[in-house]
Amino acid sequence: MEYFHGSNVPSCSRNLFSGFYMAIAMIRRSRFRPISGTRVLPLSALHFRPTPPNPLYHLTSNTPVRNRGGGLHGVTTGGRIIMHVDMDSFFASIEVRRDPSLAGRPVIVGADPKGGAGRGVVSTCSYEARRYGVHSGMPISRAFDLCPHGVYLPVNRPLYVRVSEEIMAILSQHAGRIEQVSIDEAYLDVSDAGSFPAAKALAAAIKQEIREETGLTCSVGVAPGKAVAKIASDYQKPDGLTVVCPDEVAEFLAPLPVEKIPGIGKKAGESLRQMGVRTIGDVAARDIQEIVARLGRPGVRVHRLARGIDDGEVQGREGCKSVSRETTFEADTADPSILAGTLAELADAVAEILAADGLRCRTVTVKVRYRGFDTHTRSRTLPRFTADPGVIRRAASALLLPFLNGTDVRLLGVRLSTLEGGRTQQASIDEFLS
Ligand code: DCP
Ligand code: MG
């Protein structure tokens, strides 16, 4: 069911898919910002083709060369090579795939805007809509103010879960170990590729396969660790491919704003800025004690990452202990209908991830963060293992009730744990407690 189709703005192109890809290419060009003086490889021009040797790879690494890269210049780490894959404007791109006449138009997926009076939030939007300032988590009424002629569509989660499964199945074929961290995002341990050039070629091949199989684009980061790979996948979105070799990590990270560090949101970023720390390089230059004094214990991880230490393991199936999803409201809210509606969406989302992974759970936890980072969780153990979305939703709703007390809420989350069952290939685990 469609909410609203803006008709007063012509689509960029009547030519179905070509309009979409032209628009993507235009955005890609406008975002292309190579960092001068670094060896981060801007590879967007090479998408979907076997990647020829890149002269930048002549740069030597300070680690031994094994050159198992199949003819590419070998820069190897002797250590891990991690790939992070993140689909571009996932829900919106699937909607465009379903209705190619939407290509090039501002497509907003989320709650019904009801002509500007709607409640609820934007799930995601196309890159065309982002030009109007619309983004995930924004109240749908605000999105409507910014982009009244946009195409507003409801969330069709079962469809997105099916596409997600197809993508994860493709990724599973290319890595010994894969960790799915959300519906459209996964880490792959591709150390077996043997070298960064070989991993780059693998990333290009994966991008091509995903596009051919699903018609969708993704962005990929390749790096020696998970956090840098995630930052790298975001670096040239959409349709990006960014490789950060081990000896490039510090140089790559240094100029980036601290908010690029996974887990650093607006609040923590602001707190760091108050002490004159704006970039990841600024974090690295400070004493660890100063950063910990600001951020608490997570400051240790942040400081280590800023210094290029990025050693989290890709968690395979055996690491899957819970499935979770959370959302931060752009504006804190105490409105019970928004809170209950968002919680129901989160419960449905985790139930679908659980089912997609062939798992059942016995524990449901709801997490609420009030204004000022005051965080609470409530859990319920169910009488038996279940993957029934109705049971999970009802349990989550009951757990939320005591939190609907008029206090402004900043973040809501739902976690399913005490899991059993599961398929052998994929893991599905969202970071829950930050
Ligand atoms: N999502 C959501 N609510 C949010 C954030 C995301 O429902 N607050 C959903 C919609 C997204 C999907 O999860 O399509 C994946 O989230 P991403 O953060 O990866 O966002 P996108 O894939 O949409 O865009 P990007 O190209 O920035 O990755
Ligand atoms: Mg994405």
- Residue pLDDT, tens place only, 232-288: 999 999 999 999 999 999 999 999 999 999 889 888 999 999 999 999 999 999 999
Does the residue 225 lie in any domain? yes
Confidence of residue 180 (pLDDT cuts 50, 70, 90): confident
Is the per-residue pLDDT at 175 higher than 90? no
Residues 298 and 343 in one domain: no
Out of 87, 107, 136, 260, mutate this one to test ligand 1's pocket (max ligand atoms within 8 Å of CB): namely: 136
Helix%, strand%, coil% for the chain, nearest 5: 40, 20, 35
Nearest listed ligand to the Cα of residue 92: 1
User: Does residue 185 carry a catalytic annotation?
Assistant: yes
Residues 302 and 404 in one domain: no
Does the residue 27 lie in any domain? no
Does the residue 26 lie in any domain? no
Is the per-residue pLDDT at 41 higher than 70? no
Does the residue 326 lie in any domain? yes
pLDDT, tens digit, for every residue of 195-226? 999 999 999 999 999 999 999 999 999 999 99
Residues 80 and 165 in one domain: yes
Q: Which residues line ligand 1 (CB under 6 A)?
A: 86-91, 123-124, 136-137, 183-185, 237-238, 327
412 has which bridge partners?
327, 368
Question: The CATH number of the domain where 80 resides is what?
Answer: 3.30.70.270
CA of 99 to the centre of ligand 1 (A): 19
Confidence of residue 193 (pLDDT cuts 50, 70, 90): very high
Helix or strand run (H / E) with residue 31: helix 16-31
Out of 86, 124, 163, mutate this one to test ligand 1's pocket (max ligand atoms within 8 Å of CB): namely: 124
Out of 85, 90, 134, 346, mutate this one to test ligand 1's pocket (max ligand atoms within 8 Å of CB): namely: 90
Supply the pLDDT for residue 191: 93
Neighbour count for residue 161 (Cβ, 10 Å) = 17
Determine the structural domain holding residue 326 and report its residue range: 317-421
Q: Choose the weakest-confidence range: 65-74, 331-340, 366-375.
A: 65-74
Is the per-residue pLDDT at 416 higher than 70? yes
Rounded to an integer, the average pLDDT of 145-164 is 94
Rounded to an integer, the average pLDDT of 156-172 is 90
Confidence of residue 425 (pLDDT cuts 50, 70, 90): very low
Rounded to an integer, the average pLDDT of 287-316 is 90
Confidence of residue 19 (pLDDT cuts 50, 70, 90): very low
Residues 409 and 329 in one domain: yes
Residues 48 and 152 in one domain: no
Confidence of residue 190 (pLDDT cuts 50, 70, 90): very high
CA distance 95 to 246: 38
From atom 20 of ligand 1, which residue's Cα is the shortest distance away?
89
Question: The CATH number of the domain where 278 resides is what?
Answer: 1.10.150.20
Residues 322 and 398 in one domain: yes
Does the residue 25 lie in any domain? no
Rounded to an integer, the average pLDDT of 64-87 is 56
**Contact (Cβ atoms closer than 8 angstroms) between residue 332 and residue 371:** yes
Ligand 1 atom at shortest distance from the alpha carbon of 327:
8
CA distance 203 to 210: 11
CA distance 241 to 20: 19
DSSP secondary structure of 393-419: HHHHHHHHGGG-SS--EEEEEEEEEEE
Q: What is the mean pLDDT of the chain?
A: 80
Supply the pLDDT for residue 318: 52
Residues 397 and 322 in one domain: yes
Nearest listed ligand to the Cα of residue 89: 1
Supply the pLDDT for residue 326: 87
CA of 185 to the centre of ligand 2 (A): 7
From atom 3 of ligand 1, which residue's Cα is the shortest distance away?
123
Confidence of residue 57 (pLDDT cuts 50, 70, 90): very low
Residue 418 vs residue 22, higher pLDDT: 418
CA distance 230 to 235: 9
Residues 190 and 277 in one domain: no
Rounded to an integer, the average pLDDT of 113-124 is 94
Residues 176 and 84 in one domain: yes
Rounded to an integer, the average pLDDT of 319-324 is 73
Ion ligand 2: residues, CB within 5 A, are 86-87, 90, 184
Q: Is 107 exposed, middle or buried (0-12, 13-18, 19+ CB in 10 A)?
A: buried
Nearest to 307 by CA among 279, 285, 278, 276: 285
Residues 222 and 278 in one domain: no
Q: Which residue is catalytic, options 128, 179, 185, 345?
A: 185
Question: The CATH number of the domain where 132 resides is what?
Answer: 3.40.1170.60
Residues 165 and 64 in one domain: yes
Supply the pLDDT for residue 177: 83
Q: How many domains in the chain? A: 4
Residues 41 and 137 in one domain: no
